Structure 1
Amino acid sequence: MELVATAVERLASNKHLGREEVRDAVAAMLDGQAGDVETAAFLTALHIKGETGEELLGAVEAIRERMISFDSGRSGAIDTCGTGGDRAGTVNISTAAAVVVAACSVPVVKHGNRAASGKSGSSDVLAELGVAVEAEPALLRSILDDLGIAFLFAPRFHPGLRGVAPIRRRLPFRTVFNLVGPLCNPASPAFQVVGVPRESHARRMAEVLARTPSIQRAVVVRGVDGLDEVTLTGPTEVLLVEGGTISELTWTPADFGLPETHARGLGVDGPAASAALIRRTFAGEDGPVRSYILANAAAALWTVQGTPLADAVVCAAEAIDSGRAASLLERWAELSQPQA
């Protein structure tokens, strides 16, 4: 407890912590060696000060040292995951895009959790779509081998986070755990698309990805409208991580061969509404949800294969229009059930 209290005192004085200081403090929380008051104070003080890249890296190291690893058996797998926190209340774009990407024969190992600040987390909508999100690792691997997709439910693979979950739920803001969640995929995929709503967070997330040995290529995306996805309202700011370096790109709707489309048509009031929109889109319904799913699936295909964005949109559209995405989702739901 003294270690965490000392860290809180430094943070309260607006001082940055070193990587090892954060790693040790977070380790104490995950190991049950810090009280609720100390944990809440640390998370609050770090949030108010603002996290540095070094501090995020320290938290990632503590979490990854304690996670249950998942052997995907796939060297070219990708994760499509965002930090949340954009308060937009949109349909689960990255989750739907993951299904489309898998239907394009690119393996996906998606890491996710229940909603933290939004209305529908990835596990929430997948459950509505019939996928058993808490399946055993052996079943997950079997599904990945058969369909090229798996969902790794964070609480199953990060048991240490269960102890801090009640504290996180009581705090009225996102914490460092929301930021580092996408950086702690138990499968350590070689490719990632990470959505972040704030510019300052995007840079720090990219810094951690650049220092992650398993990453071959990753992009951190931020819509200029504040969406933590590729947006079609206007430009999307992109930080490309490759070879341990970070470069800046800008994607526009025209790069995808798609028209500017406002995000107001993406709103949902919960997982059931999100699941219904995804089902209708996979059944052929046109509109803004389809366009955003196509753009975000294309971003993932570009990240793994280098396919030009407009060509990747064509591939993603064919995966939907042919019925492959809908069939994959239906089969995923069937196989994920223990009795299947």
Structure 2
Amino acid sequence: PDKVSRCIDEIGIGFLFARTFHRAVGNVAKVRKDLGIPTVFNLLGPLANPARPDRQCMGISDPTRLQEIASVLDALGVNHAFVVTGSDGMDEVSLHGPTEAVELRNGTCIRHRWVPGDFGVAEADIQSLRGGDAQENAHMLRQILEGEKGPRRDVVLANAALALVAAEKTDNLREGARMAAESIDSGAALEKLNMLVKYSRELAGTEE
């Protein structure tokens, strides 16, 4: 935890691997992979975030539990959060249909329903958003941050916009998407990723 905290302090971003912080998650990792379906650990992981953020975006696959999860976040001391379910059970903002959400703001829950146009992006077929294994996804991410246009960039902008609203950097989804686009187009987002990669490799080297 101290190393991740230092990473966040120094470069402004960090990654918390659930298996590192919650041993039980690692113990059932193979079973979860073999099942190939969402389990209770998909909910417990974000709820048991050791960083204890007071602002948060959380995606779940079951829209009937949006209110329930928002209430749990409230009990955990989160001040501003969005719990979202995209079309077809996607656990993020989707571009191929509406996104259902519950916003938690200072103890009050507000229900939302958004379409891609609310973020200033176009609808897209889900096939155009499919990823692959970890290596393929990492390559796709770099392509987006290096300036690739299209549905994959748009879905990143939409989800980043929601995070920026949760962080209260803006109160408008379209403005949030514009801010995210500016971060990508200026090279700032790619630079931040490169800093995280460099820091992580240096840290791994000190542990060997």
Establish whether TM, by shorter chain, passes 0.5. Answer: yes
Q: Secondary structure, in 3 states, of the residue corresponding to 2:15?
A: strand
Following superposition of structure 1 onto structure 2, how do residues 1-340 of structure 1 map, counting pairs within 5 Å?
137-169=1-33, 171=35, 173-213=37-77, 215-305=78-168, 306-337=170-201, 338=203, 339=205
Partners of 2:152 and 2:33 lie apart in 1 by 29
Q: Secondary structure, in 3 states, of the residue corresponding to 1:185?
A: coil
Structure 2 stretches lacking a partner, 5+ long = none
Indicate the RMSD between aligned Cα atoms, in angstroms: 1.9
**1:150 CA displacement:** 0.7
Q: How many residues align?
A: 203
Partners of 1:172 and 1:276 lie apart in 2 by 23
Partners of 1:321 and 1:168 lie apart in 2 by 37
**1:274 CA displacement:** 0.9
Which structure has more RCO (C-alpha within 8 Å, separation ≥ 6)? 1
Q: Secondary structure, in 3 states, of the residue corresponding to 1:259?
A: coil
Q: Secondary structure, in 3 states, of the residue corresponding to 1:246?
A: strand
**1:173 CA displacement:** 4.0
Structure number with bigger Rg: 1
Q: Secondary structure, in 3 states, of the residue corresponding to 2:23?
A: coil
Partners of 1:225 and 1:165 lie apart in 2 by 24
**1:336 CA displacement:** 1.3
Partners of 1:171 and 1:253 lie apart in 2 by 31
**1:261 CA displacement:** 2.0
Greater share of helix? 2
Pair 238,172 (structure 1): closer, same or farther in 2 beyond 3 Å: closer
Percent sequence identity over matched residues? 39
Aligned to 1:26: none
Partners of 1:205 and 1:302 lie apart in 2 by 19
CA contact (8 A) 1:256 1:309 kept: yes
CA contact (8 A) 1:210 1:246 kept: no
Structure 1 stretches lacking a partner, 5+ long = 1-136
TM-score by length of 1: 0.56
TM-score by length of 2: 0.88
CA contact (8 A) 2:63 2:84 kept: no
**Paired AA for residue 326 in structure 1:** L
Partners of 2:128 and 2:36 lie apart in 1 by 27
**Paired AA for residue 149 in structure 1:** I
